[in-house]
Copies of this chain bind each other. A is one copy, B any other.
Amino acid sequence: MPAKFYSKENLRFLLFNVHETEKFCDREYFKEHTRENFELILESAESLAANQLRPILLEMDRNPPHIENARIKVHPKMRGLMRTFGNDGWISMSAPNEFGGQQVPFTVLQAVSFIFGAANYSPTAYAFLTTGAAHLIEEFGSKELQQKYIPKMFSGEWQGTMALSEPQAGSSLSDVVTTAVPTAEGHYLLKGQKVFISCGDSDAVDNIVHLMLARIEGAPVGTKGISLFVVPRMRAAEDGNLVFNDVNTAGVFHKMGYHGAPIAHLMMGEKNDCHGYLLGEPHKGLSYMFTMMNEARIGVGVNATSIASAAYYNSLEYANVRAQGRKLNEKDPAKPQTLIINHADVKRMLLFQKAVVEGSLSLCLQACKYYDNSKTLIGEDAENNFLKLELLTPMVKSYPAEMSNHTTSAALQCFGGYGFTKEFLAELFYRETRIHTLHEGTTAIHGMDLLGRKVMMQNGKATMLLMQEIMQDIEEAKKYESLKTYAETAFDKLMKMQEISMHLMKVAQKSGPEVYLSDATLYLEMFGILMIGWQWLKQGIKVEELKLSTSKEFSTEFLQSKINALQYFFEYEVPKTEGLMTRLKSSNHVTVDAKPEEIL
């Protein structure tokens, strides 16, 4: 049995006590499910994670994907795993019954992804990229495309991808230049190249199905001329046999971590024989793709949190067995050394990790709840949940991504010099998680999305709705002695954040968009911290309710550990907003004013 990589108790607490996931079962779409059923799914996920994913984590890290005969070879166990992900229903779990799915809430899918990712992040990319790609075909594909692709993807025989980036178009997707020329037969001929395509080629599957952005010949420049295509690596010939579709693997990216998953460089149409099948209407590709991207962004938050969770339990375990030094009031060097978990600074590093991991996971599940609500409620309720999801997504993606760099670093630090060595996993988690502030939009992109679009959309309606909900939780938290001060702090900080938002609106009017958005990354950071504070208050409320109840569902230690982490978060993390707010109010704009030639 591998070491602990996540807390089952905590995941249950967040799902069923804090976010009441079982209530989804009342909805028509989820009516075949029950809490017991969800629990069984999570049990199975843990079993797969512990028995099949974690055991190959180290092997995958030490043997990254490589090119052999112009194809990418990955870990040999990955083929069997993809079939397991397929046959056991993990890839299709959230899909509608009509496509062979089980209509499991997105919330539960992400909880499963969290368990898998905490055990071993890389394999989850194969599975859930396929889920996401299939979802686009479900939503926008013709019956023919659906029948041809979805079953093979759900069985894990075929891999799905998102093929967006090009060498000149990463953050700037409007600069995609891959072209699609229509043919009389109905398909398009694609030509161009794509970079950073996760699972873009691998020998773990029989075929790769790219959901690819390209520009139909003659389309307008910019985002309004981008269409979405299904571009398989192998296409069905008239006789039904699969033939090569002129999607060539130009290379594999060698990376700092995340070694289990291949990131491909692809060349389409070198022989002018790359067929692509238009998904939905022409020129609407980017908006379709955002369906998948927004799910993927929640996925990044979950993935970053899962790696941070693995690193946390790794360091917690070490802190409970490693003896070093003595308590500060113990002056006798003849006395035995104490476990390092008894040192305040080690406890600080552990509580930091715990507070970020459990706060982040709670925030991710909050977003998942909005997602499932937006899909299964109707009318204004659905719309309001969608708006809150839209607003929250930049923080859900970026807070865990940014913070997992710091928490995995703290985990490594707990090991002292050993943390820098490959004798322990700490250095692996530190390398592994560094991808998350980069893919699915860099942190800067999300800052601009938040401040430049989300905060003010529909005249700030999303912000208003979210703040209303948070204020209710704050009022509730104030009822408990242990939470009162922190609830007041949260209120105070949120008010200050509102003031800053107002201040920035004036800046926008006076100085234009560049100055307005110049510190969007800091605004995002501030907003993120306060959202995690909110999630800790929500957890605190449930802890206090449980303490007052006769329930023995959770141990006293578990409940107290929650209060400890909550205190840590408000004592050490929330104060970080002070400096951010000071900066956001400043009238100095050095990052705008400094000329490039004056940075040297």
Q: Kindly state the separation between the CA atoms of A428 and B33 in the bound complex, as whole angstroms.
A: 48
A568 within 8 A of B: yes
Most B C-beta atoms less than 10 A away, residue of A223, A346, A421, A579:
A579
- Give the interface residue-count category, chain A: 35 or more
**Which residues of A, 321-351, contact B by the 8 Å Cβ criterion?**
323-329, 333-334, 337, 339, 341-348, 350-351
Q: A344 contacts which of B416, B423, B582, B591 (Cβ < 8 Å)?
A: B591
Q: How far is the CB of A218 from chain B (nearest CB, A)?
A: 14
Given contacts A255-B420, A256-B430, A327-B514, 18 further A-B contacts (CB under 8 A): A168-B324, A174-B333, A253-B421, A253-B422, A254-B421, A256-B421, A258-B420, A328-B513, A344-B514, A345-B444, A345-B447, A346-B444, A420-B435, A522-B572, A564-B590, A571-B583, A575-B582, A578-B582
A240-248, A376-384, A553-561 - interface stretch: A553-561
A541 within 8 A of B: no
Q: How far is the CB of A159 from chain B (nearest CB, A)?
A: 20
List chain B residues, Cβ under 8 A from A346: 444
Q: Kindly state the separation between the CA atoms of A286 and B560 in the bound complex, as whole angstroms.
A: 42
List chain B residues, Cβ under 8 A from A430: 256, 434
- Is A421 in contact with B174, judged by CB distance below 8 angstroms? no
- Is A348 in contact with B578, judged by CB distance below 8 angstroms? no
Q: Kindly state the separation between the CA atoms of A424 and B582 in the bound complex, as whole angstroms.
A: 35
Select from chain B the residue with minimum beta-carbon distance to A251.
B423
Q: Kindly state the separation between the CA atoms of A6 and B401 in the bound complex, as whole angstroms.
A: 30
Report if A171-B354 is in contact (Cβ < 8 Å); known contacts: A443-B413, A598-B561, A599-B564: no
List chain B residues, Cβ under 8 A from A323: 168
Provide the A569-600 mask, 1 if CB < 8 A to any CB of B, else 0.
00110011111101100101011101111111
Provide the A138-178 mask, 1 if CB < 8 A to any CB of B, else 0.
00000000000000000000000000010010111011000
Q: Kindly state the separation between the CA atoms of A342 and B444 in the bound complex, as whole angstroms.
A: 14
Q: Kindly state the separation between the CA atoms of A248 and B291 in the bound complex, as whole angstroms.
A: 61
A417 within 8 A of B: yes
A34 within 8 A of B: no
